Amino acid sequence: MSLMMKTEELAASIPNGSTIALVGFGGMGQCDKILKAIGRRFKETGTPNNLTVFHTAGQSDRQNGIEYIAEEGLISRVIGGHWGLAPKLRRLIEENKVECYCWPQGQLTHLLRAMANKLPGQISPVGIGTFVDPRIDGGKFNEKTQSQKDLVTLLEIEGQELLLYASIPFDYVFIRGTSIDEDGNITTEEEPLKLEILSAAQAAKAYGGKVISQVKYVAKKDSMHPKEVVVPGYLVDGFVVADHPETEHRQVPSTVFSPVFSGDLKTPTGSLPPIPLDARKVIGRRATLELGKKSVVNLGIGIPGDVIGPITNEEGIGQDLILTLESGIIGGVPIGANEFGVARNASAILDHEYLFDYYHGAGVDVTFMGAAEVDELGNVNVSKFGNRAVGCGGFIDITQSAKKVVFCTTFTGGAKSLIQHGEVLILQQGTIKKFTKQVNQITFSGEYAAKHNQEVMYVTERAVFVLTKEGLLLTEIAPGIDLQKDVLDLMEFKPIIADTLKEMDNRIFKEGIMNISHSRFIREEEKSVHPNTRTLVSGLD
């Protein structure tokens, strides 16, 4: 039987220098009661300290989760995938107060399974040609880490380049469920996501680590349906009960519990209001024109996660698609913003790591991803730009394997525009150039994509580009946009200009629905020639 614990006792039992693993996704699934207690004890006593923290996805919605332990001295090393919504921890990384390794999220989830088998690490081609490649940075994410041990190794097996992500033995792993019975069996009936709690528990056990769960309810022995048990009791060493779920165990940041997010209640999608017609919606609308019926689709955080789902719902084409989120969500209408990772009316909620199996193996038909920087080789940076160390999340895993990649980004940073009368009116040019000579960090390798004949597009509110073996090809421009002044003058390199440069579909810039399902969605005769084989012409002087 698992031991019920007080969080104060748990925090006091963690030795200095321990390696702890966390499970969660954005603002969901973290063991907030446990992490609050660890952070509080450190502030009061200075212990535990010098912890290594391992996690897969981001672990905060800007306030909760890993932010409770983001203290200098408490953490000495972090190995994870994303810190975009964890400002305190991100500052520790940016200011070189902690060592930081950033690895692809899917590789981190699969590493848990490799560790559960007590293997030396996770082997995959994912990451080749990016900052994770040891020939570039090896995933070392700040200056403090550069002199530290290499944890990613380049291998060659039967002529194929692969990366080995080293196993990281855990002393503790903190997982979250909804209920635990007297035998320690854990269920997740009120959680919005399953995540990787079973793999994480087995990974800890393989190296003698302890598994501690946070739950809301304690159930009677033999009261759980065996198929509902996600983590069997023999893996669980102890648990804490969240007596105040409104502050310690929220289902999602906006609510303590809703049956909509646990999949127990479906809501009429027609009741969802349309999103406003602005630059983000224009980008999303153009991107959706790349969809085909029955496409299996992935949506990334940012513009894709915020607008693609609502647009497909508004256009009435959601039933013709299979939208997925890397958290394990299949179907439904994604929520977006700081609740990225959950959806209304999901048709299935898979374990986190199993959806990455599909992403890596089969590859989605199309993924929509954000972009902070794009260079003349088609490389994309979303992980580290300016003084922001955000991380890659599942971006590398998904983009490297997808059949088609559509990057969705505003053309410049800080621009102000207005969509009116079917045109884009630029009110103020952005001061941050996103189409740069060379990206600060390679999160997506244009060279790797071109070599493997991957179809890649870059969609903005004023222009559309595709990747070719010769570089970026400008294929479309928005109505109301001046090619020279509003596009070329704001790029640090000259793109190739298509000899058939055309205006973007004018329906994108008008109020009301586009009627995608009755026009372009998607007729075979309208599919474009693969960009790596199209005819090119010289760029403008």
Q: Which of 71, 99, 314, 326 is catalytic?
A: 326
Cis amide prior to 48 (ω within 30 degrees): yes
- Pairing outcome for strands 455-459 and 463-468: antiparallel
- What one-letter code names the amino acid at 370? G
- Pairing outcome for strands 384-385 and 380-381: unpaired
Q: Is 107 helix (H, G, I), strand (E, B) or coil?
A: helix
Please tell me what DSSP assigns to residue 489.
Answer: G
Residue reference for tokens 């009791």: 233
Question: Do residues 65 and 30 lie in contact, with contact meaning Cβ atoms separated by under 8 Å?
Answer: yes
What would the two tokens of residue 402 be?
Answer: 């997808």
Question: Do residues 181 and 233 lie in contact, with contact meaning Cβ atoms separated by under 8 Å?
Answer: yes
Please tell me what DSSP assigns to residue 62.
Answer: S
Quick one: 140 exposed, middle or buried, by C-beta within 10 A (0-12, 13-18, 19+)? buried
Residue 326 annotated as catalytic: yes
Handedness of CA 354, 360, 361, 365 (dihedral sign): positive
Q: How many helices (H) and strands (E) does the chain have?
A: 13, 34
Cis amide prior to 134 (ω within 30 degrees): no
b or e along 305-321 (b: 16 or more beta carbons within 10 Å of the residue's beta carbon)? Answer: bbbbbbbbbbbebbebb
* Cα–Cα distance for residue pair 10/33, rounded to 1 Å: 11
What would the two tokens of residue 59 be?
Answer: 């672990």
Question: Do residues 62 and 84 lie in contact, with contact meaning Cβ atoms separated by under 8 Å?
Answer: no
Cα dist. 33→18, 209, 505, 510 in Å?
19, 20, 51, 48
Which residues make Cβ contacts (< 8 Å) with residue 215, sequence separation at least 6? Answer: 176, 177, 178, 179, 180, 186, 239, 240, 241, 242
* Cα–Cα distance for residue pair 381/487, rounded to 1 Å: 20
Q: Which residues are catalytic?
A: 326
